[in-house]
Structure 1
């Protein structure tokens, strides 16, 4: 059973670093692991120091680890085919809608919400059709992430309405064909292929099932020891619980620990003390969640060598991924 770990939170708190480090540890433990970036502003390739694209790529230096940066444009053709099928049905019922008008819907690239739709589409594809034991998601900043989890319910209503409208339009068109052509009306066959709307709606239902399954999915909120970031994390946890997304861990990144402070740096001691207070505040605010603190790095976290110490810390967090 493929398990999923999502990292999310405020922009710039280190979600990509956490996702990459977790993927590194899971692969080292013998699990076939895929790290997925759903953030439109990708930085996963930089963290792993490997060129990435819209198709999963294996890391030669790390057996059993692959990574991918989702590009919503690569899914736009699927959504465009659905729009063209709808346009064909409308035309069959006498509603004038030219190819040029359909084309204009996609003239500016992927439609609004395509980032989240592509992420959910590929979530189902990777979990149900892939060969990975674990998938780690580096999500976009909070607003995008909440849309990601709200999308299945929103899309279900929209697709149900569209599907109903499509059925009515097709019945009108079929009636017109029978009146004009009689028994020969459908001699050339019916649909050109599977109904894209039905397929898409089914994938949205499946995505919601996966996201809400506590036995295979966990969302980890990443924050830093600063008041604004903590407050945003509280709102995010509340929204995730409302959406029935399993949350078990708060990761507090960039914590200046007392043992890392030089005795002659009063400013550093003051900052370490403040971070300690913020950690206590986080533990009080989230009494039912595990709190994992990651130390402030001396330099930039970039590349596999710098990810390994973080991977050790993150391995202490509860995980839906079953142990070997």
Structure 2
């Protein structure tokens, strides 16, 4: 059974680094792990210093320097690290292929559309919320494949993440309306039905049967919602920095996730200044300010574990740099 760990928070707080470090730690401990970036501004490739594309690919990571003999045996028994960046271009291309197929169906039914007309109809690309819908669809695909023990999600900034968790409920009324329209369209022929439901078939990548595609898509959204709200399999970790605005935004995010019945056990406070030089008054002041913010975070989120990661002068890039903070992050959800 595949577990899921989501990292979310406002932009620029270090979600990608946390996701990469957690995935690497799990792989070092012998778990088959997939890191998924759903952030349109992908930085997973940069963080891991590896080529990460729109399809899951295995990375050459090897055992870490702190890996125990027991963990090395587990790693030899099947631990591995995979990564993927959900690619908006790929989704757009899938939508364009759908447009071409739909136009062919219409032409075969005697409805003539020129290439220019088809292009205008689908000029806006994927429908609103397409990124979030694609993420949910791929979540189910990755989990149900059984290829990985844990899937770690590096999510987009807070607004996109909230839409991700709202999408199953938002799409429910839309799907009900489409089902009603489908019944009416069935009375005027297959071509009309394809015209109404063709755009939805992109979500499942299944055949041209609109009825089957719509029902399969609805079932997958329901499956995604159940998985997100399953506390035995899914945990959401909020990443923030020791700043007032970040604390306030994280408070809203945690509240929304709890309302959605998504398990939130931990906060990761990134870039906390530690070990100031004794002779540096500015360093001491910064250290005290961050310590005060961390205390404020603990008071604001009672009952949640607060994990801190140190501020570093250099950017955390590459496997060894990512490994250097991995042991400070909880591994299993």
1:81-160 correspondence to structure 2 within 5 Å: 101-160=117-176
1:187-198 correspondence to structure 2 within 5 Å: 192-193=208-209, 195-198=212-215
Residue segments in structure 2 that go unaligned for 5+ positions in a row: 63-78, 193-206
Give 1:256's aligned residue.
273
TM-score by length of 2: 0.82
1:158-197 correspondence to structure 2 within 5 Å: 158-173=174-189, 192-193=208-209, 195-197=212-214
The separation in 2 between residues aligned to 1:273 and 1:91, in whole angstroms, is 70
Question: Rg larger in 1 or in 2?
Answer: 1
Give 1:27's aligned residue.
27
Give 1:235's aligned residue.
252
Say if 2:96 and 2:125, in contact at 8 Å, map to a contact too.
no
Say if 1:10 and 1:223, in contact at 8 Å, map to a contact too.
yes
Say if 1:93 and 1:173, in contact at 8 Å, map to a contact too.
no
Change (3 A) 1:305 1:45: same
Say if 1:220 and 1:250, in contact at 8 Å, map to a contact too.
yes
Change (3 A) 1:69 1:213: same
| Structure 2 residue 69 is the aligned partner of structure 1 residue 41 | no
Deviation of 1:99 after TM superposition, in Å, equals 7.2
Judge which range, 47-56 or 69-78, deviates more: 69-78
The separation in 2 between residues aligned to 1:85 and 1:263, in whole angstroms, is 69
Change (3 A) 1:32 1:102: same
Change (3 A) 1:203 1:97: farther
| Aligned with residue 301 of structure 2, among 286, 289, 300 | 286
| Aligned with residue 73 of structure 1, among 80, 83, 89 | 89
TM-score by length of 1: 0.85
Give 1:313's aligned residue.
328
SS state at 2:155 partner: strand
Count of aligned positions: 301
The separation in 1 between residues aligned to 2:129 and 2:165, in whole angstroms, is 12
SS state at 1:168 partner: helix
| Structure 2 residue 227 is the aligned partner of structure 1 residue 210 | yes
Question: RMSD of aligned C-alpha atoms?
Answer: 2.7
Deviation of 1:94 after TM superposition, in Å, equals 11
Deviation of 1:118 after TM superposition, in Å, equals 1.1
Residue segments in structure 1 that go unaligned for 5+ positions in a row: 177-190
Deviation of 1:90 after TM superposition, in Å, equals 9.4
SS state at 1:127 partner: helix
Show CA shifts across 1:141-178 (max 9, x none): 0011111111111112111211211111112448x9xx
SS state at 2:156 partner: strand
